[in-house]
Structure 1
Amino acid sequence: MSVENMAETFVQLADTLVADFDSAEFMHLLADRCVDTLDVDAAGILLADHHSELYVVGASSERTRLVELFELQHRQGPCMECYLTGAPVTVADFTESPQRWPEFAAVAVEAGFRAVHALPMRLREHTIGALNLFTAAPGALSSSTVRVAQAMADVATIGLLQAKLLNQQELLAEQLQGALQSRVLIEQAKGVLSERLQIGIGPAFETLRRYSRSHNQHLSTVAESVIAGTLDVTALGDPGMRG
């Protein structure tokens, strides 16, 4: 592991505050950087959805992806256990017996892997997935490699959660802006109705609401039609049209 390579890796993993952030590409970047930076032969990433169902979201190779899929389909294995417990899981040699996960071990060996090191992707007590590092040779990773790998998983987790929070904030901002714009339209429509129907502002608003409900239209849509002149305001003032 060169210092330059490691530094570049962490810079890339931390760079999630961009407008066109692609979480899928980010996961594949993490897998590739693990292979480039750490003393491992392959990497895979499992992430959980809001129902805590795990999915393979990144892999450095197709054979790695297939091994991960096998584990998810059988709902047992070191990577899944890592996610469920939030603790690292190491299998230093799949050919040792007895194995806790003999079916998974057989598939991993057939794919060319002898060991796996599963590290939780977590922020404090919140675990969102697992980073899984496979090696063709048996044996545990060095403690320094594990520390760097866990740091990469932690940075990636923070980046993902940060991007998610940013998206939520942007959505909230859009919803707030929409609500404010709707409020402006409604206030303008109330003024138009008040003037044309010669009624107070309060009754004008109730007239808008009654028409909106009886015609199953959004209040802002009715208000916009009133302002644009595409809705006959006398119809709103007609008791027969008030629902």
Structure 2
Amino acid sequence: MNQQLPPDAAAALAALAEVVYVSPDYEGVYAAICKTAVQVIPSCDHASISTLTAGGTLTPHGATDEYAEQIDGFESALRDGPCYDAIVTDSYQVDADLTVNPTWPELSRLVLAHTPVRGMIGYRVLVGPRKAGSLNLFSDTPGGFAGASADLGVVLASFASVALSAAAQNHRADTLLNGLHSNREIGKAIGLLMATHDLSEDAALDLLKRASQDLNRKLVDVAREVVDRHPNGA
């Protein structure tokens, strides 16, 4: 495989990296990856990322249009196709021309009947050691997914795995930071209640918990209000 990326592809991947680090939510990353696939991979007209549930249902993410979502739906119903095979194998799955001896006959029949797609590729996408799903590329041109397109798809799929790993790590970091912030708010409220009402730490926490239950609000929200309304809370 040629390791030298075309300038446009390199620029698109650089832009995608910015999306990952500026807005590291999964759905945003899925959408950015699929949009990039259509932009940089020759003959790629539609793209999606699918994840496979324990029950065997495919869930599409970031689909560029209704055709990508529709084909994901066909694969989910049939439990067969390049996405399914890519998730359980170590290599990408391709049928460059659905009109000639299709690899997945029933899926191809539905795709040819209901969409303009004439070629499909599925690449396994990973988050760390865990299988996350498949990057699915679709072409309206029979035979459009030649060697260069398939090779560039491999690069994008590898980048997608890195991007999703980054999103997962950032999500965990956000969760930890939010938890730390919440704990600080609760601790500050407990301290104020202890000082104001001469309560023990346990009694102050119990008071916050009862208020949270009575008001049907999160403990941290009640704590934040205690802090905000207290003259010495700042």
Q: TM-score, normalised by structure 1?
A: 0.71
- Quote how far apart the aligned CAs of 1:21 are: 5.0
Matching of residue 84 in structure 1 with residue 82 in structure 2: no
Distance 1:86 1:126, change over 3 A: farther
SS of aligned partner of 1:17? helix
Partner of 2:143: 138
Cα deviation 1:167-195 (Å, max 9, x = unaligned): 3212221211221222232233223343x
Distance 1:207 1:92, change over 3 A: closer
Matching of residue 119 in structure 1 with residue 119 in structure 2: no
* Consecutive unaligned residues in structure 2, runs of 5 or more: none
Partner of 2:193: 189
Report the identity percentage: 17
8 Å CA contact retained: 2:58, 2:75: no
8 Å CA contact retained: 1:58, 1:65: no
Partner of 2:106: 103
Name the structure, 1 or 2, with higher relative contact order (CA <8 Å, separation 6+): 2
> Which of 166, 185, 207 is equivalent to 1:162?
166
**What is the one-letter code of the residue matched to 1:176?**
L
8 Å CA contact retained: 1:46, 1:54: no
Taking the aligned partners of 2:25 and 2:208, their CA distance within structure 1 comes to 40
Partner of 2:33: 30
SS of aligned partner of 2:184? helix
Cα deviation 1:85-106 (Å, max 9, x = unaligned): 3531122443444x55322011
- Quote how far apart the aligned CAs of 1:140 are: 5.8
SS of aligned partner of 2:88? helix
> Which of 17, 39, 56 is equivalent to 2:21?
17
SS of aligned partner of 1:108? helix
- Quote how far apart the aligned CAs of 1:213 are: 6.6
Partner of 2:51: 48
**What is the one-letter code of the residue matched to 1:109?**
L
Matching of residue 205 in structure 1 with residue 211 in structure 2: no
Taking the aligned partners of 1:31 and 1:210, their CA distance within structure 2 comes to 49
**What is the one-letter code of the residue matched to 2:42?**
D
- Quote how far apart the aligned CAs of 1:57 are: 1.6
* Consecutive unaligned residues in structure 1, runs of 5 or more: 195-200, 230-243
Taking the aligned partners of 1:32 and 1:221, their CA distance within structure 2 comes to 42
Taking the aligned partners of 1:27 and 1:152, their CA distance within structure 2 comes to 12
8 Å CA contact retained: 2:190, 2:205: no
> Max radius of gyration: which structure?
1
8 Å CA contact retained: 2:99, 2:142: no
